[in-house]
Chain A
Amino acid sequence: MLKVTIGQYYPADSSIHRLDARMKLLCTMIFIVVIFFIGNFLGYALAALYLAVVIKVSKVPPKFLLRGLRAILFIIVFTAILNVFFTPGETLVFELGFVRVTQEGLLAAGRMGLRLVMLIIGSSILTLTTTPIQLTDAIEFSLKPLKKIGVPAHEIAMMMTIALRFIPTLMEEMDKIMKAQMARGADFDTGGIVKKARSLVPLLVPLFISAFRRAEELALAMESRCYRGDIGRTRMKQMKMAMRDLGAFVSLAVFTAGLFALNHVAAVFGIW
């Protein structure tokens, strides 16, 4: 059977899970911006500490976060290596032919690597503690101001909802088509990458046709249920900010202030 974990939500009952999705989205964005302002390794230590506390409170097992990291490990390493070689610097660590490794280069690589790791962990906490539907609602809410300049906020959110709804359905259908083809002698497992890719064509064509038919039927069903965009639409579940949301925001503000203070101290005392 195909197993899909959409958006990688980790169900648990924690204060992070209970936070308003809009607040979580806002905090994650601020956090991501803030970590790019960190100028020294003390700052990274503080950020790591802050993340560790959030992870602890969220009750998400750290291995889930590490799993997310593994997928992009290559990108992190690649970026770090590029930084080592392409950062101009004076203090030479060693030289091998045309390859020059400088202290500045190593520092830049370390910084960039740490930033990326924290960026991924930070956004993973958001998706791991927020259900896709809450996230969609939060995105719709944040896009609302852009509606005036013609961004279809509601439509984007509705598209995301429907996509999330149909992923398992289409996966199941894919599985069925695959089995039907295999029963008639199709081979999906052997051969090179080209042969494998080609063997997908007879899967994708029926899948697409069926997806279009589903879309048409769904449109009829939505119309029958009086759907007409977001004109005069209400929501059953209202998003409400609570004290804990304010608390989360304050904690992030304190963290940010601490970081800038550290930056200042580090500049005065000349710490990396």
Chain B
Amino acid sequence: MEIVVKTDEIVFKYTSQPSTDGEGENNETPPKLALDGVSIAIAKGEFVAVLGHNGSGKSTLAKHINGLLLPEQGAVWVKGISTADEEKMWEIRQSVGMVFQNPDNQIIATIVEEDVAFGPENLGIPPTEIRQRVDEALEAVGMTKYAGNPPHHLSGGQKQRVAIAGILAMRPDIIVMDESTAMLDPIGRREVLTVAKRLNDEGITIILITHYMDEAAQADRIMVMNGGKVVMEGIPSEIFTQIGRLKEIGLDVPQAVEIAHKLRLGGLNLPEGIVTGKQLVEALMNVHRN
């Protein structure tokens, strides 16, 4: 399996208050480490969710993956290139697309298709090819019919899809979604997650930073962060069965896990590894049948 993102014991500390991600990593003095020896490896085509409560360092980690932030110690490699290599910076940013939290603050142009064209224009792609890429990217996120619209009339979910299209037009290998669903309503969240999953099926590696357990439950693998460290790592059913540990670090478990857990405590014989609503329903049907 080809490893596309690798970090080696990275350490990072904000010198002043981080004002962009609202996580408030170091509101207290002295500044603590935002990342404290994080080592991860993500394979090509994986769908990884990074979970953690506010201030756990997950957004800081996301910003290291495309070189927006550089680690103080350790190193980050994207497709074998170190993010500290300034000459290859644009190559890395082309292959790692970032979707941010606030949909309003990442759209640059006054027309949807112009915004999608922004990335490829920066890469110096010939005009006819940009046109083609823009059309394909809008198609992929289902926003073709809004191509000529001004972005401020779109819903939050639609704006995030435009932002994803803008990244797709750069033909990335990896998309990092830095709490991209946090400001959306449930419908918008579903739209964005559906697009993310479809892109993953097409071979794009997705790194989803979130604090929604139900979103994380759909990933191939989950990393749980706390205090700047990766404290748990595994497939969703492994992670969510450790209810006590999750609660200890201030995280909830998905609703289905919680219900299954309580039913088990109540004496119902349910199998381990239930993380989604669908699995719970199936398990309950089995119990009913027996």
Instruction: From A162, A165, A214, A233, name the one whose CB has the most chain B CB atoms within 10 angstroms.
Output: A165
Give the interface size bracket for A toward B: 20 to 34
Q: Is the CB of B131 within 8 A of A236?
A: yes
Q: Is the CB of A217 within 8 A of B121?
A: no
The answer to whether residues A226 and B122 also contact, given A169-B152, A236-B131 and a CB cut-off of 8 A, is yes
Interface hits, B111-127 → A, CB 8 Å: 111, 113-114, 117-127
Q: Is the CB of A161 within 8 A of B120?
A: no
Chain A 99-127, CB within 8 Å of chain B: the 1/0 string?
00000000000000000000000000000
Interface hits, A120-176 → B, CB 8 Å: 132-133, 161-162, 164-165, 168-169, 172
Interface hits, B43-89 → A, CB 8 Å: 63, 66, 68
A196: interface (CB < 8 Å): no
The answer to whether residues A237 and B119 also contact, given A165-B108, A168-B152, A226-B94 and a CB cut-off of 8 A, is no
Select A217's contact among B100, B119, B126, beta carbons within 8 Å.
B100
For residue B126, which residues in chain A have a CB less than 8 angstroms away from its CB?
234
For residue B68, which residues in chain A have a CB less than 8 angstroms away from its CB?
220, 223-224
Interface of A is mostly: helix
Q: Is the CB of A133 within 8 A of B109?
A: yes
A208: interface (CB < 8 Å): no
Q: Is the CB of A236 within 8 A of B105?
A: no
Q: Is the CB of B106 within 8 A of A236?
A: no
Chain A 210-242, CB within 8 Å of chain B: the 1/0 string?
000110111011111111100011111110000
Q: Is the CB of A225 within 8 A of B118?
A: yes
Q: Is the CB of A133 within 8 A of B114?
A: yes
Q: Is the CB of A165 within 8 A of B97?
A: no
The answer to whether residues A227 and B122 also contact, given A161-B108, A236-B130 and a CB cut-off of 8 A, is yes
Q: Is the CB of B108 within 8 A of A226?
A: no
For residue A217, which residues in chain B have a CB less than 8 angstroms away from its CB?
20, 100, 102, 105-106
Query: Nearest Cβ distance between residue A213 and chain B, in whole angstroms?
Result: 6
Chain A 17-56, CB within 8 Å of chain B: the 1/0 string?
0000000000000000000000000000000000000000
For residue B166, which residues in chain A have a CB less than 8 angstroms away from its CB?
225
For residue B104, which residues in chain A have a CB less than 8 angstroms away from its CB?
169, 214
B216: interface (CB < 8 Å): no
Query: Nearest Cβ distance between residue A51 and chain B, in whole angstroms?
Result: 29
CA–CA, A164 and B221, complex, Å: 42
CA–CA, A72 and B120, complex, Å: 43
Select B90's contact among A172, A226, A234, beta carbons within 8 Å.
A226
Query: Nearest Cβ distance between residue A174 and chain B, in whole angstroms?
Result: 14
For residue A220, which residues in chain B have a CB less than 8 angstroms away from its CB?
20, 63, 68, 100
Interface of B is mostly: helix
B257: interface (CB < 8 Å): no
The answer to whether residues A225 and B122 also contact, given A132-B110, A165-B109, A169-B152 and a CB cut-off of 8 A, is yes
Query: Nearest Cβ distance between residue B285 and chain A, in whole angstroms?
Result: 46
The answer to whether residues A234 and B130 also contact, given A226-B119, A226-B170 and a CB cut-off of 8 A, is yes
For residue B122, which residues in chain A have a CB less than 8 angstroms away from its CB?
225-228, 233
Query: Nearest Cβ distance between residue A192 and chain B, in whole angstroms?
Result: 35
CA–CA, A217 and B151, complex, Å: 17
B19: interface (CB < 8 Å): yes
CA–CA, A227 and B166, complex, Å: 13
CA–CA, A164 and B109, complex, Å: 8
CA–CA, A36 and B98, complex, Å: 53
Q: A163: nearest residue on chain B (CB-CB)?
A: B110
B93: interface (CB < 8 Å): yes
Query: Nearest Cβ distance between residue B12 and chain A, in whole angstroms?
Result: 16
B167: interface (CB < 8 Å): yes
Q: Is the CB of A133 within 8 A of B130?
A: no
B244: interface (CB < 8 Å): no
Q: A209: nearest residue on chain B (CB-CB)?
A: B19
The answer to whether residues A225 and B131 also contact, given A216-B19, A233-B121, A235-B121 and a CB cut-off of 8 A, is no
The answer to whether residues A232 and B120 also contact, given A223-B93, A224-B97 and a CB cut-off of 8 A, is no
B206: interface (CB < 8 Å): no
For residue B108, which residues in chain A have a CB less than 8 angstroms away from its CB?
161-162, 165, 218, 221-222
**With contacts A225-B97, A237-B117 known, what are 17 further pairs, Cβ within 8 A?**
A133-B110, A161-B108, A164-B110, A168-B150, A169-B104, A216-B19, A216-B20, A221-B108, A221-B163, A222-B118, A226-B93, A227-B122, A234-B120, A234-B126, A234-B127, A236-B120, A236-B134
What would 15 A/B residue contacts be, using CB atoms closer than 8 Å? A164-B110, A172-B152, A214-B104, A214-B105, A218-B108, A220-B68, A221-B108, A222-B118, A225-B97, A227-B122, A232-B123, A233-B121, A233-B122, A234-B126, A236-B121
A: residues with CB less than 8 A from B are 132-133, 161-162, 164-165, 168-169, 172, 213-214, 216-218, 220-228, 232-238
The 9 closest A-B pairs by CB, nearest first: A221-B106, A236-B117, A217-B105, A232-B124, A236-B130, A224-B98, A226-B122, A225-B119, A168-B152
